[in-house]
Amino acid sequence: MLAGRISALLYSMSGLVAAWKTSVAFRLECLLSVILTPVALLVGDTNIERAILIASLFFVLITELLNSAIEATVDRIGPDIHPLSKQAKDMGSAAVFIALLIFIVIWTLVLF
């Protein structure tokens, strides 16, 4: 049981390292999170506000990881241009865009 959990943790760390190495967007969003997490702790008036501000940062990171996984899977299938491949990549990108909009809305509402 413990060995399985350790393996799962190692797989997760491997995924984070792969995202860091291959995705410029993920690296930028990580940097944004590192900078804005302390800001969230300072500007949030309540623990709920702080939690929501920080959660919105993690939501962007999670969405970017899923988008990167979709892109890697589509690229693994083959280099052929196919409408469904484009659709999958575009939808993943749209998910990141919506996550960023949610982040902006939350931070704007809490700060102003």
> Which residues are known catalytic residues?
64
Could you give the CA distance from residue 92 to residue 37 in angstroms, rounded to a whole number?
25
In the chain the first and final C-alpha atoms are separated, in Å, by 48
Listing DSSP states for 8-68 in one string gives HHHHHHHHHHHHHHH-HHHHHHHHHHHHHHHHHHHH-SSHHHHHHHHHHHHHHHHHHHHHH
> What secondary structure letter does DSSP report for 79?
S
